[in-house]
Amino acid sequence: MSEKRAARLSPDERRAQLVAIGLDMLADRSLDELSTDDVARRAGISRGLLFHYFDSKRDFYRAVVQQECDDFVAATEPDPSLGPVPWLRSFIAGFVRYVLEHRKVYLALVRGAAGSHPAVEDIVDGTRATLARRVAEGQRRLGMPDSPRLAVAARAWTAFAEEAVTSWPRGGPEAPAELGAFLESSFISLLGALDRPCALPR
């Protein structure tokens, strides 16, 4: 069967289309399994034309991962005019909503092998660092005391939140709210006790 002729698109539109196709395909394959031949075929263009928009396969991979990470960062950015508690809840709700709605691609890129892929590791690390800075900002907005442990705790909570959202049982419209409350509680417990660590009695 012959491929459908590609619609005429501007360079920016074509590049965005190819990245969107790549993201869609990552829902069921790893980054290394993402074939530029298949991407071009879905777009109705030649593989050679794909490389008119991207310098190399690595460049294409980076564009795909950068788009996903940019979308994730944007979805978790609260309105800066919000008060401390609404700000934190907006951040957590955006985190939960985005991961639940993009779970397969999120797992493939941020949690999966792509996260340590040499072509995109810096992009994923940068995204995690941005989220950790927002966690630290939330801690400060709530008036919790600063601590030299804050940076480490912020990264730790982010990793905890990733695991909780991706592993939380899915079912029922109340699940996102329950998950949000769970993450809020863990935030207060972890980020609110940095200067008064407790240990089990001996």
- Top-level CATH class of 64-191? mainly alpha
3-state secondary structure of 164: helix
Residues of the chain with CATH 1.10.357: 64-191
- Top-level CATH class of 11-62? mainly alpha
Q: What gap in Å lies between CA 37 and CA 50, rounded to an integer?
A: 9
pTM for this predicted structure:
0.85
Instruction: Read off φ and ψ for residue 137, nearest 5 degrees.
Output: -65, -40
- The rounded Cα 195 to chain-centroid distance in angstroms is 30
Q: Residue 82: left (phi > 0), alpha (psi -120 to 50), or beta?
A: beta
Locus of tokens 């592993």: 167
pLDDT tens readout for residues 144-161: 988 899 999 999 999 999
Of 55-59, 117-121, 174-178, 198-202, the range with the lowest mean pLDDT is: 198-202
3-state secondary structure of 35: coil
Amino acid, single-letter form, for residue 189: S
pLDDT tens readout for residues 68-99: 999 999 999 999 999 999 999 999 999 999 98
Question: What's the pLDDT at 107?
Answer: 81
Residue 51 CB: number of other CB atoms within 10 A?
15
Six token digits for residue 94: 């955006």
Residues of the chain with CATH 1.10.10.60: 11-62
